[in-house]
Amino acid sequence: MKNKKILLSQDLSFGTEYLNEILQELKKRFEEVYTIEHELGEFKKNFNYKFFREITKKFKEKNVLKRYFYKYEKIKIKENLKKYSAIDYFFIIGNRDFSPYFFKILKELNPQIKIILFLWDKLEYSCWNAERIKYIDFVFSYDREDARKNNFIFRPTFYIKECLKEIPEKKEYALYYVGALRDKKRYKYILTIKNHLDNLGLKSFLKLYVDKNNKKYLENKKTRELFISNKISYLENLKNLKKSRAVLDIKYKNQKGLTLRVYEALAMDIKIITDNDDIKNYDFYNEKNIKIINNINEIEKIDINFFKEEPEIIPEDIKYKYSIDGFIDEIIRKVEE
């Protein structure tokens, strides 16, 4: 691929580490790697543009000024895209919001281009509607069920090389979990497992992030230690995870796709407790390393030895599949088939 050019756009908001490593690995494989954040480029930051955009949002579709503004946007989109010529691939990771016009002009300027989308969320929770997705040549989804239902290519997410750095031999925590307080289910799971581990005499790191809408939980003196109001950075998360024997993975709503924590744990030989039973369909599934819980009560049935015994080591070829190298290599291979 050394004679090929690729344009990258991603919206991974949990840290710059993923973007930096993705760029680094793409640069090893392609002659030129470009990045784009918005279809308007730097013009999106123009004060006058932002001012008029907010005003025209209130206009009806048939309004003359709104139609003029749309035409003006298209001119600026085309100007921005002229910077990217002879591009072979456009790789979108996540929920970047590009207009159908953007894709139309991109393909006109680069007739040979292949547009690739990797969905890091279920389709129903993304910005990708039928009008946009019809311009995509290859759609990969991290969610097995979503891929099957929409005729996408199933491809799990991945861990980055940062996960493999400075892993301590001695573990401080029996179980690690940090997540947003999205629903009462998470609160009940965390509280139940915290009490269970306390009764076993095991130290844990279990935290739920609360925002301004649910700060009432911070007022509960009995469980205040479970909550944080400031987000923990990605690197701090990794640092704490590396000091843990096991990680807790709780799925959101009807998602089948596994979270990043699962792949990070796989990379670091850390055990997993999850309520996502689709994990049984993965080639790294091992009953000695992974416990599946279907309800809160099953947490209390987990034997203390699960947290004390060493995990069984997963073969390196399987680990590679879920690494950033394995991810990029598989995407390229399937696009080129």
Residue 258's nearest CA partner among 301, 290, 302, 210 is 290
**77-116 pLDDT tens trace:** 999 999 998 999 999 998 888 999 999 999 999 999 999 9
Given a cut of 70, is residue 220 above it in pLDDT? no
Q: Which two tokens stand for residue 157?
A: 């997410």
**159-173 pLDDT tens trace:** 999 999 999 989 999
Rounded-to-integer distance, Cα 215 and Cα 220, Å: 10
Which residues are 6's β-sheet partners?
Answer: 33, 89
- What does the pLDDT read at residue 217? 59
**Residue written as tokens 């009806």?**
60
The half-sphere exposure of 77 on its side-chain side, counting CA atoms within 13 A, is 19
**309-322 pLDDT tens trace:** 999 999 999 999 99
Which residues, in sequence order, are CB contacts of 241 under 8 Å at separation 6+?
Answer: 176, 247, 261, 264, 265, 268, 270
Give the domain ranges of the chain: 5-36+84-158+323-336, 161-321
Given a cut of 80, is residue 47 above it in pLDDT? no
Taking the domain 5-36+84-158+323-336, which CATH number applies? 3.40.50
Using left for φ > 0, alpha for ψ between -120 and 50, and beta otherwise, residue 151 falls in: left
Domains 5-36+84-158+323-336 and 161-321 share a fold: yes
**Residue written as tokens 């710059």?**
16
**228-263 pLDDT tens trace:** 888 888 899 999 999 999 999 988 777 889 999 999
- What does the pLDDT read at residue 44? 81
**177-197 pLDDT tens trace:** 998 877 677 788 888 889 899
- What does the pLDDT read at residue 67? 82
- Candidates 3.40.980.10, 3.40.50.2000, 3.40.190.10, 3.40.190.290; CATH matching 161-321: 3.40.50.2000
Q: Does this model's pTM top 0.95?
A: no
